Amino acid sequence: MAQTKPEPSEPFEVESSQFRRTGSYAEVEEACHRFANTYPDAVRCLNIGLTAEGRSIWALVVSRSGALTADAAKRLNVPVVLAIGGTHAGEIDGKDAGLMLVRDWLKKPPSNDPLTHQVFLFVPVFNVDGHERPSPYNRPNQNGPSLQGERVTAQRINLNRDWMLGQTSEMNAMLQLIAEWDPLLTLDLHVTDGVRFRHDVSLSMSSMFGVDDALREVSDQFSSDMVKHLTASGHRPLDFTPVLLDLENPRAGIMRDADAPRFSHVYAVLRNRLGILVEDHAWDPYAKRVKTSLDVLTAALELMAKQGRQLLSIARLADENALGMFSQSVALDWHNMLETGTEIATGQADLLGYEYTTHSDAPVVGGRHITYHLNRPTVWRVPVFSDIQPVNHAIVSFPQAGYIIPAGWVSVVLPYLQKHNITYHVLDKAMQGVEVQQLQVDPESISFESRTFQGRLRTFITGEWVNAQTHLMAGSIYVPIRQARSLLVAHLLEPVAPDSLSRWGLFNTAYEITDHISNHRQLQIAQWMFSEDRRIRERYGEGLQNKLSALRKEYQVRMDRDERFQEDPEQRMDFWISQIPYHDPTYNKYPVMRTDRLIEHP
């Protein structure tokens, strides 16, 4: 007897188990195809790419607007809301909530059906490989489900730190999806890592990274509207994810973090769009967390149904305004002033918490620890530190024209321009005497983090941009700053940006000494210079020969007056050797140049 085809209304594993379990990934795939087959006028099921282990990443396109393709959404001016579940596969509330919402809204559309005003683009599980390695031990600070996926991918990459670098096949699939659909709002659905309070959800936005005032204003208003909507639904939301100053004493205060472009909600801002990091409360029972996540999705879709077209027009105007960002000064990084030692609270907040004991000598293990008394709810009156300001060294003036990638570095940089959908032009012929600014890296500024992060050795450099002329080979790349993604361009190519290619260590060979002058040769050259030997003229030219008399006088003055110089042979040697034409001309030269000259392209 043939099996009856399951109806879209049938319960998911999470429901049939009374929220003790979440379903396998096969359930996601089956639901994706079932919805598309049952509701062909409202649903598409997309395979957006493969994971490192070869699994398909499925996405649902759900809309009654008439737009079920990216082209149709653009043509009909329909806003797109992207929701991502399972970025961290153990934090899987969003998957179950989204599938339940789609099923229920397809079967019985709500009044003033939000799906008629937008496209809901839903990726139930982003980290599919992690989802398929469930364990009861993966999330010790989380209250269910019974089996939870892993935080990282099969390659041990944290996807919500990979938005700028795009090291994984999963993230490259996501970036391609975003390039195609251009979502107005991205909701990344997560769960907190274990802070114990009674707020059930936090919504984090980082609009300060944006440069368009109108878009920043409506982004902040959208966040406020979300909080009001959820509060009216009986939730206890926070409009940022609080960071405890003292993990063993919550009343010491909380800090608002500035985050960074490697996170989804900040990356959206760099594209002149809205992004929200959603964090359900880990200690809530799983049934409650799924309901919270479902209500977050509902609030966002209902608000977008009312405001979406206006927000979309403001976002597109921000794209147009970005064409005029040349020569503009922009802060590429932000930090909480508390991190600089400015310990001035910006206000007070009442957090819904519990009574607790801070142990100076904890039972069993000793040391300073905390015990929460969960049968004694209370309110914590805490100082709030939310003064977020630009990082001074990361305030940059954009070039008037754009950036140049020399041909030798194109293979390194080009993949990032492509994956982020950035406009660029390949020079089809060589160019002579191009006026550029080149960054001479200060060797004293170069520092490397003490251990790898996401498998990369992150690097910090500063230096001075100096005017120069250069020869560009055919195959070099010109990246105009006058484009909608100008802010994203700067975040990739300006070395002081927190998630630039340089900060991720892609240019580290530019800061490594690969050749040297042997000690005995240095001594010989210094002696020749001191004695004004004619061999300096023969090797280094008339200009240096003519400077030798003055250099000798300057050397003698320093020997007479500077005791540290007199006692340091290395300084004395450097005095002479630093004058000769450098034997390694690209050492400590940042491999991306700025230009104020508009470069013609075919």
For residue range 419-433, what is the model confidence (pLDDT) as tens digits?
A: 999 999 999 999 999
- 88: buried, middle or exposed (CB in 10 Å: 19+, 13-18, 0-12)? buried
120: which strand partners? 62, 81
Range in 139-148, 489-498, 514-523 the model is least confident about: 514-523
Per-position b or e across 217-236, b if 16+ CB within 10 A of its CB: ebbeebbebbbebbeeeebe
End-to-end CA distance of the chain: 65
pLDDT tens by residue, 421-471? 999 999 999 999 999 999 999 988 999 999 999 999 999 999 999 999 999
The pLDDT score that the predictor gives to residue 7 is 64
Q: Say what the pTM is.
A: 0.91
**What is the sign of the dihedral through the CA atoms of 416, 422, 424 and 426?**
positive
pLDDT tens by residue, 144-164? 999 999 999 999 999 999 999
The pLDDT score that the predictor gives to residue 2 is 46
Q: Report all structural domains of the chain as residue ranges with CATH numbers, in order of start.
A: 32-322 (3.40.630.10), 399-514+587-595 (no CATH), 519-577 (no CATH)
Helix (H) or strand (E) segment spanning residue 395 = strand 395-397
**What is the sign of the dihedral through the CA atoms of 109, 114, 116 and 120?**
negative
DSSP code of residue 251: G
Name the token pair of 284. Answer: 């809530």
Check whether the bond before 495 is cis (ω within 30° of 0): no
Question: Is it the case that residue 534 has pLDDT exceeding 80?
Answer: yes
